[in-house]
Amino acid sequence: MSDIKEIKGIPVISFALIFAIVLAITMFVVGIVMVLLRYPMYTMMHYLNVTPINGFNPVFVGSIFPVYFIIVMPIMVFIFGFLVTALATIIYNFIAPKIGGIKLELE
């Protein structure tokens, strides 16, 4: 026989921290994949002597691209993921007692 439990509150800091860490790790992996897929294109542009067009220099973009996607993006995703998750958790904790929390069926 299963037992139905209701989530009446979620600890804000721990939930937001765990969720933000998962998001940052995911973004780090996605960043590595993006660099592996796109970096050869920018390297090829460098060897083909592609000239800047309208101020856009593909060689510069190719040199900053790995740093951005492997270092900067996971940090940004962690910060904003933490803030958004904390805000969503605070809203849930405010609304759940009034309208009822999420119901889980446990065995």
What pLDDT score was predicted for residue 76?
97
> Considering the entire predicted model, what is its pTM?
0.76
The rounded distance, in Å, linking the Cα atoms of 7 and 4 is 10
Average pLDDT along the chain: 85
pLDDT level of residue 6 (50, 70, 90 thresholds): confident
* Cβ neighbours of residue 68 closer than 8 Å, sequence gap 6 or more: none
Comparing 62 with 26, which gets the higher pLDDT? 26
CB burial of residue 81 (10 Å; 0-12, 13-18, 19+): buried
